[in-house]
Chain A
Amino acid sequence: MKFWQFCAIAGSALFAASAQPAAADDDTIKIGVVAAQTGAFVSAGNTIGAGVTLAVKEINDAGGVKIGGKSRKIQLENRDDRTDVNVAIAAGRELVNDIGVAALYGTESHDFSVSMTKITGPAKVLQFTGNSSLGAILTKESVAPGAPLHYTFQSEPPEFQRSGSTARGVLKLLGKEIGAPLKNAVVFVADDATGQYLSEHYVKALEANGQHVDLIKYPPNTTDFTPLLTRAKGLNPDTVHFWYNGDVTLVAFPQAVQLKVAKGYFLFGVDPGVWADRKLVSTAPVTLSCVPMCWGAPPTPEAKAYFDRYFAAGAVKGVQSSVSLLYYDYMHWYAKAIEESGSTDPDTVVAQIEKMKYQGVVSKAPLYFDNRHRVSFATEVCLVKPNTSDQFECAVEEPPTEPPAGDNGG
C-alpha cells in the first residue's frame, strides 16, 4: 500500500485503541475529587480532598475493596478547580470522560456542583456534592432510576435544616451568655464564587426564632469592613451573624469587636479548632458552628479520633476542616456499598446506597439518604467563652423537620 495509506490505518488503529474506556483496568477503582484548592474558596475546598484522601488510604491499607473474592485498590485523582466554574467543569470532564472515574466528590461551591451533575449524570458516575442549590433540582422524580440525577447525592442536609439547627443553637448559647432576651439581628453576607448571596434560609430561620433581621451584603474582596460594620451598629443589633467564607469573616470580626457593634456574634465557617489553633481571643461572646461536628470540640470520641488521624496525615488546618468529615464518611460508605452489593455497576451501587443506613463519624445516629438523595444530621454549635482561646461550650442541635414559614425548603 502507499505510505499515506499505511499511516492512515496505523493512526486509526492507535486512535481506536486509545479510545477504550480507561476503566477497562480491572485492578483499581478510580475516584475523582474536584475542589477549590486555590482561590477564594480554598478553605472549604482543601478539606474535601483531604477527607477523601484519608478514607482512601485507610481502605487501601486494609487491602482494598473486596468484591467477588478479589481485592481492588482505589486510585484517587485530585483536581483543583481554583474557585472558577470553567476550571471545575473542565476538571469534571477530564475525570469522567478521559480518566473514567466511577465516583466523583465535590465541589462545595454551589453552581459548580449543579453544572457538574450534567457531566456525571449521563456518564453514570456517582457524585457526592454539598450545598443548598442542589435542593432545587433534587426531586423524587429527578433521582428515580433512569432519571438524570439518579447518581447524585447531596452531602449536606437541606439548607433549611442546617440553617434551622444553627440558628436555634446560636441564639440559645448567646442568649444564655449575654443574659438578656435577643431581639435584633444583623446578618452580614458575602457572595459565593458565583455571585449569589446565600443567606435566605438562615434569615428565615432566625426570624422563625423570633428575631428581627437586617441583612447587609458586602462586595467580594472587601477588606475594610468598618463602614459596613458601623452601619450595622446603627441598627442596634443584639447579635451579628457573619454568614459565609470563614477567611473573610476572620478579617471582619475583629473590626466588629473593636467597633463594639453588637453584644454577641456568630461566625459561620470557622471551626473551634481554628480558633484555638490561631489563639484567637474575643472580649465579646462568639458562637461558631461546624459542618457537622467540630474540630477542636468534638462531641464524640470517634470524631476526636478522626480529627487526630486527619491532621496527622498532613491535612491543612483550614477554617472549615470539619467539612472533611462528610467526605470521609461518604467515601467509606461508597466502598461499603460496593462490597455489600458485590458489584461496581453504578445502578447496583446506587440501589444499595439508597437501602443502607450508614454509621460513620458524622452523626451519632446512622445516616441515610431520603427519597430526594438528601441526608439529615445534627449540627454542632459552640460558644467561645469570652477572653479565652480554647474554652468552648457546645451543643448538638437536631435539625427541624419542617421548613419555617416563607421558606421553600430548598
Chain B
Amino acid sequence: MEIFLQQLVNSLSVASVIILIGIGITLIFGLTGIINFAHGEFLMIGGMTTWLVVSNGGGFIIGLVAAVLFVGLLGFVLERGLFRLTLDRPMNGFIISLGLIVVLQHFVIRFWNSYQKSIPEPLSGVWEIGGVQIIVMRAVVVLITAVVVAITFFGISRSRYGLALRASVADQETASLMGVPVRRYITGVFIYGSMLAGLGGALMIALFPITPFIGSTIVVRGFAVALIGGLGNVAGAVVAGLVLGLMDGLSAGYGLPEWTEAYSFALMILILLLRPNGLLGGTAGPRAV
C-alpha cells in the first residue's frame, strides 16, 4: 500500500509541471485559436534560464523569477512580432510554431551545447510520513503550482479582467462592443501562458536534469491536457493534468516502462473518442468551471 501511495506522491510533482503547461495552452488556444507547438520550448528556455543564473552563482529563487520574466518577455515579443500576424489564419500560426521549435532548440544548442543541464537541489531533505518518502523539493513544486492554479482560477472567475477574458473567448466581437480591447487581452493571455511555461521549466530543472529537447514531449502532453480538460477550461486542465500525471507515474511504476509515453496518449485518444469536447466540456471560453 505504501508503495502505491509513494507512486501517487511521486506523480504529483510531474503532474504539476504538466498542469502549468496545460493551463497556458488551454487559455491561449481557447481564446485565440493559436496553436503554438513551441510552447514546450518555452518551458525548456525557462529551465535553461534558471540553469544559467544558478550556474553563474545566482540563487534558485532569482533563477526562477528570471525564468518567468524572460519567457514572459519572449512570449510578448513572439505574439506581437509573429503570432499576431496569423490571427486570421491560425493554421499559419501553427506551422510557424513548428519552425519556432527548431529555432529555439538550436539557439540553445548553438550557444551552449546539447547535453543535459542540471542544478544542485535548491532544497534538500525528505519527509517521511507513514513509510512514504516525500521529497521536500517535489512538495514545494506541488505547492507552488497549487498557488498559481488558485490565483489563475480566481482571477478568471472573479476579477473584471477574468470576466472580460471569458467574454472575449465566447464572442470576441461583442466583447469589443462592450469596450474590451480584445487584442490586448490576446497579448496578455499569451504572456501569462508563457510565464507559466517559464515557471514550469524552472521547477522542472529543480527536480531533474533537462536537455534542449524536452520541449516536444512536454508540449504534446500540454495539448492533451488542454483537449481532455476542454479548451479554455482551467479547472478541466487541472483535472486532466492530474489524471495524466498519475497515468505517467503509475504506468512507469506498474506497467512496462518502455511504453510509458504510450499510455498517456492511449488515454487521451480514448477520452477524446468518448467525449470530444473534453472531460469537463466546453470548447468556448475560459470558465471558472
A-side interface residues toward B, CB under 8 Å?
A: 38, 42, 216-219, 221-224, 226-228, 230-231, 233-234, 247, 251, 254-255, 258-260
Report the Cα distance A224→B7, complex, angstroms: 12
Q: How many residues of B contact A (CB 8 A)?
A: 30
In the bound complex, do residue B250 and residue A260 qualify as a contact, i.e. CB atoms below 8 Å apart?
no
Min Cβ gap A42→B in Å is: 7
Q: Interface centre among A38, A221, A223, A255, by most B CB within 10 Å?
A: A223
Can you give 15 A-B contacts (C-beta < 8 A)?
Answer: A216-B257, A219-B257, A219-B258, A221-B211, A224-B14, A224-B208, A230-B7, A231-B7, A231-B252, A231-B254, A251-B116, A254-B121, A258-B133, A259-B6, A260-B126
Report the Cα distance A247→B113, complex, angstroms: 16
In the bound complex, do residue A224 and residue B118 qualify as a contact, i.e. CB atoms below 8 Å apart?
no
Residues of B within 8 A of A258 (CB): 126, 133, 135
Residues of A within 8 A of B50 (CB): none
Pick the contact of B252: A228, A233, A247 (CB < 8 A): A228
Min Cβ gap A370→B in Å is: 37
Residues of B within 8 A of A247 (CB): 116
Taking A216-B257, A223-B210, A231-B253 as known contacts, 17 extra A-B pairs with beta carbons closer than 8 A to each other, sorted by chain A number, are A221-B211, A223-B116, A226-B135, A227-B11, A227-B249, A227-B252, A228-B253, A228-B257, A230-B7, A231-B252, A233-B3, A233-B6, A251-B208, A258-B126, A258-B133, A259-B126, A260-B133
Residues of A within 8 A of B210 (CB): 223
Nearest to B257 among chain A residues (CB) is A218
Nearest 9 pairs of A and B residues by beta carbon = A227-B252, A227-B253, A226-B10, A223-B208, A234-B3, A231-B253, A230-B6, A227-B249, A258-B126
Report the Cα distance A247→B116, complex, angstroms: 9
Nearest to A218 among chain B residues (CB) is B257
Min Cβ gap A310→B in Å is: 22
Min Cβ gap A231→B in Å is: 5
Report the Cα distance A38→B116, complex, angstroms: 12
Nearest to A42 among chain B residues (CB) is B115
> Provided the pairs A227-B7, A227-B10 are in contact, do residues A217 and B209 lie with their beta carbons within 8 angstroms?
no
Q: Is the interface of B mostly helix, strand, loop or mixed?
A: helix
Min Cβ gap A118→B in Å is: 30
Residues of A within 8 A of B23 (CB): none
Min Cβ gap B14→A in Å is: 6
In the bound complex, do residue A217 and residue B118 qualify as a contact, i.e. CB atoms below 8 Å apart?
no
Residues of A within 8 A of B14 (CB): 224
Report B118-162 residues with CB < 8 Å from chain A CB. 118, 121, 126, 133, 135
In the bound complex, do residue A217 and residue B257 qualify as a contact, i.e. CB atoms below 8 Å apart?
yes
Residues of B within 8 A of A38 (CB): 113-114
> Provided the pairs A224-B207, A251-B209 are in contact, do residues A230 and B258 lie with their beta carbons within 8 angstroms?
no
Contact with A along B204-240 (1 / 0, CB 8 A): 0001111100000000000000000000000000000
B-side interface residues toward A, CB under 8 Å?
A: 3, 6-7, 10-11, 14, 113-116, 118, 121, 126, 133, 135, 207-211, 248-254, 257-258, 260
Min Cβ gap A248→B in Å is: 9
Report the Cα distance A258→B139, complex, angstroms: 13
Residues of A within 8 A of B121 (CB): 254
> Provided the pairs A234-B3, A259-B133 are in contact, do residues A223 and B209 lie with their beta carbons within 8 angstroms?
yes
Report the Cα distance A251→B210, complex, angstroms: 11
Report the Cα distance A228→B249, complex, angstroms: 9
Min Cβ gap A337→B in Å is: 38
Report the Cα distance A228→B114, complex, angstroms: 26
Nearest to A220 among chain B residues (CB) is B258
Nearest to A222 among chain B residues (CB) is B257
Q: Interface centre among A218, A224, A226, by most B CB within 10 Å?
A: A226
Residues of B within 8 A of A251 (CB): 116, 118, 208-209
Report the Cα distance A233→B253, complex, angstroms: 10
Report the Cα distance A234→B3, complex, angstroms: 6
Report the Cα distance A230→B10, complex, angstroms: 9
Residues of B within 8 A of A216 (CB): 257
Report the Cα distance A268→B254, complex, angstroms: 25
Nearest to B249 among chain A residues (CB) is A227
Residues of B within 8 A of A217 (CB): 257-258
Nearest to A191 among chain B residues (CB) is B258
Report the Cα distance A247→B115, complex, angstroms: 11
Q: Interface centre among B118, B253, B258, B260, by most A CB within 10 Å?
A: B253
Q: Interface centre among A224, A228, A251, by most B CB within 10 Å?
A: A224
Nearest to A259 among chain B residues (CB) is B133
Residues of B within 8 A of A254 (CB): 121
Min Cβ gap B218→A in Å is: 12
In the bound complex, do residue B260 and residue A219 qualify as a contact, i.e. CB atoms below 8 Å apart?
yes
Min Cβ gap B234→A in Å is: 25
Report the Cα distance A216→B176, complex, angstroms: 58
Residues of A within 8 A of B114 (CB): 38
Nearest to A224 among chain B residues (CB) is B208
Nearest to B118 among chain A residues (CB) is A251
Residues of A within 8 A of B250 (CB): 227
Residues of A within 8 A of B115 (CB): 42
> Provided the pairs A42-B115, A251-B208 are in contact, do residues A230 and B257 lie with their beta carbons within 8 angstroms?
no
Min Cβ gap B126→A in Å is: 5
Report the Cα distance A42→B257, complex, angstroms: 25
Min Cβ gap A99→B in Å is: 27
Nearest to A227 among chain B residues (CB) is B252
Report the Cα distance A222→B261, complex, angstroms: 11
Residues of A within 8 A of B116 (CB): 223, 247, 251
Residues of A within 8 A of B251 (CB): 227
Residues of A within 8 A of B118 (CB): 251
Min Cβ gap A257→B in Å is: 9
Min Cβ gap A305→B in Å is: 31
Residues of B within 8 A of A221 (CB): 211
Residues of A within 8 A of B209 (CB): 223, 251
Report the Cα distance A247→B209, complex, angstroms: 11
